[in-house]
Homo-oligomer: A and B are copies of this chain.
Amino acid sequence: VRHDQSHYGKIYLVGAGPGDPGLLTIKARDLLAVADCVIYDYLVNPEILAFAPAYAELIYVGKHGKDYNWKQEEINRLLIEKAGKYDLVIRLKGGDPFIFGRGGEEAEALVDAGIEWEIVPGVSAGSAVAAYAGIPITYRGLSSSVAFVTGHEDPQKLRSSIRWEELANGVDTLVFFMGVGRIREITEQLILHGRSKETPVAVIRWGTYNDQETHISTLNDVADLVRQKAVEAPALIVIGEVVRLREKLRWFEANAKTEWDVAAESDEYTELSI
């Protein structure tokens, strides 16, 4: 808690990982345990917020809420305001703060305001969600490159900011974040620019959570499957030959709760409803 009113506190931009609380880093948990204030997003698992002290101020700035949609500039101002009030403020983001998390923009705002900050990288959904679906995003002989791409742009911009003709075959594995709402445009562009229609595709919803669900299809058919099954965000799209390995390597959905989860629930974790 803030004692010295003559200076600003410090802000940590912290990655919360993809969902499974076990995938939080030690550093993130240790910092959460002494946080005065936690400003968190939609995709942060509520179980992770339970690591913060009871006295900590928890502020939800998720953009998928039904109430109010925070603008980035408003979040930046909130961070600075809270750094003026508290010693230790955590800006908690799903996955990794620097992979489509706008962590860079927030860090810039803090530098401009002269506020001390650090980043605590997190486990990215791009690899972990695929791994929980039994898909290694790289694999010797099948994939020696993987791209993370944001699908969360307005359709106009999606067409212009991605160089589809080079992206389509430029890397072996393609991972689209936040792209399920635009999966038809994404897959059409990739096929138009020469990626095989038969390329396997996985759409993984609520990855690393106990109710993770994985849909397997091809570049040609996946948009229809997603519409038919009404698959909605949050979901990760993985495109490439490595998706075939899931048949052999799936492990998580087969035994939804691991021994570790059960042990962790019984002694370490507390449920938090928000």
Contacts and interface: CB of A to CB of B under 8 A. Distances in A.
Interface of A: 15, 17, 20-27, 29-31, 96-100, 102-105, 107-108, 111, 117-124, 127-128, 130-132, 135-140, 144-150, 153, 161-163, 166-171, 242, 245, 248-249, 251-252, 258, 260, 264
A131 to B, nearest CB: 5
Nearest to A119: B131
Given A98-B135, A166-B166, A167-B170, 9 more contacts: A22-B25, A22-B120, A23-B25, A26-B26, A30-B260, A98-B130, A145-B148, A145-B150, A163-B170
A132 to B, nearest CB: 8
This chain: copies in complex: 2
26 contacts: A15-B123, A22-B26, A23-B25, A23-B26, A24-B26, A25-B25, A25-B26, A31-B260, A96-B128, A98-B130, A98-B135, A98-B136, A98-B137, A98-B138, A102-B140, A105-B140, A107-B136, A107-B249, A117-B251, A124-B127, A144-B161, A145-B147, A145-B148, A167-B170, A167-B171, A170-B171
Contacts of A24: 25-26
B145 A162 contact: yes
A100 to B, nearest CB: 5
Residue of A108, A149, A264 with most chain B CB atoms under a 10 A cut-off: A149
A103 B264 CA distance: 25
A157 B5 CA distance: 60
Contacts of A108: 245, 248-249
Main DSSP-derived SS at the A contact region: mixed
A215 to B, nearest CB: 20
A96 B148 CA distance: 15
**When A and B form their complex, which 6 residue pairs have the shortest distance between CB atoms, in order from nearest?**
A170-B170, A22-B27, A104-B136, A166-B170, A121-B128, A98-B136
Contacts of A163: 169-170
A226 to B, nearest CB: 21
A121 B117 contact: no
Given A124-B124, A170-B170, A99 B138 contact: yes
A249 B110 CA distance: 10
A227 B110 CA distance: 36
Residue of A24, A137, A166, A248 with most chain B CB atoms under a 10 A cut-off: A166
Contacts of A117: 251
A159 B132 CA distance: 32
